[in-house]
Amino acid sequence: MKRVVQVLFILILVIFIGSMLAGVGGMMALFSGDEGEAHIKKSSVLALDLDGVIIDGKDFLDLLRKHRKDDRIKGILIRINSPGGVVGPSQEIYDEIKRTREEFKKPVVAYCSAVAASGAYYAAAAADKIFTTPGCMMGSIGVLMEFVNLEKLYDWAKIERYALTTGEYKNAGAEYKSLTPAQRSLFQDMLNDVLGQFKEAIIEGRKMKPEFLDQYADGRIFTGRQGVKLGFADQVGSWDDARKALGELTGLGPDVEVFKARKRKGFMDFLEDASAETRLHKTVQNLLHTELNARPLYLMPGAF
């Protein structure tokens, strides 16, 4: 009986180890390169997604920079569904889209689906053409900084919090005190400067007159259909309409083939994605905005 138990145990152990090796082999194949890269067999256009709050544009930019160098990729089609985010990454995306058109001579078409506001619209302004759904929320041209003032809460809790600094502005925006008039003036000047940069990008990208843009650069949003009428987008249409338009711009015709790029993932990315605790932490973090809370960051309106 003991012998039978030992044999069964060894058999189960062998099956378990074999299953693990097969799983690891599958994961290694998955992580060995960009899935679908081998499917670029002829001239096509690259499809990219600009999705969610823009905090770090690295994933998007890595794919754009990699595939725009491929001679088989003749144009870029960007699906946008984003309320905006931090200014710096939004500007970087804008610059790289513009560089794709000017240096690599590859046309770019942006398709705005549900939301293309603020920093996301900033990025879209670099495209050759902007397609949009009629009900897309678009615009929100402006900049903001968010602060949290917990001074009264600290007083209620009888907590005294302070900091030693080397200058008046070093702790500007700290949650334990109000902004001084000088600090408010400093931040407002910075916001006005960034708004000017935002407007310059739209004026250049959309060929829009400054005095006309000034009427709408106050943070307001408008529908995709209104955006087309005002000149902030080119045409109301579907994803397929945008694809056909890009096909015409590239000379590949309306039936142009679309290549969907995917980010290469490493083993640690897999473990992180698989962690329920990590997913819960990120969800709570997003709900409470703890990543951006009480930090003097340039934010594009509509991000939260």
Catalytic residue, from 74, 118, 140, 244: name it: 118
Asked, for residue 12, whether it belongs to a domain, the answer is: no
Asked, for residue 191, whether it belongs to a domain, the answer is: yes
Asked, for residue 205, whether it belongs to a domain, the answer is: yes
Catalytic residue, from 170, 209, 260, 263: name it: 170
Q: Contact, 238 vs 232, CB < 8 A?
A: no
Q: What's the pLDDT tens digit per position in 76-129?
A: 999 999 999 999 999 999 999 999 999 999 999 999 999 999 999 999 999 999
- How far apart CA 213 and CA 203 sit, in angstroms, is 8
- pTM over 0.75, yes/no: yes
Asked, for residue 304, whether it belongs to a domain, the answer is: no
Asked, for residue 71, whether it belongs to a domain, the answer is: yes
Q: Which regions of 35-150 does DSSP assign to beta strands (E)? A: 44-51, 73-82, 108-117, 129-132, 137-139
Residue 58 sits in a domain whose CATH number is 3.90.226.10
| Residue 118: active-site member | yes
Q: What's the pLDDT tens digit per position in 10-24?
A: 655 555 555 554 444
| Residue 58: active-site member | no
How many domains does the structure of the chain reveal? Answer: 1
Q: What's the pLDDT tens digit per position in 165-199?
A: 999 999 999 999 999 999 999 999 999 999 999 99
Asked, for residue 188, whether it belongs to a domain, the answer is: yes
- Give the domain range for residue 54: 37-288
Q: What's the pLDDT tens digit per position in 268-294?
A: 554 555 555 555 545 544 544 444 444
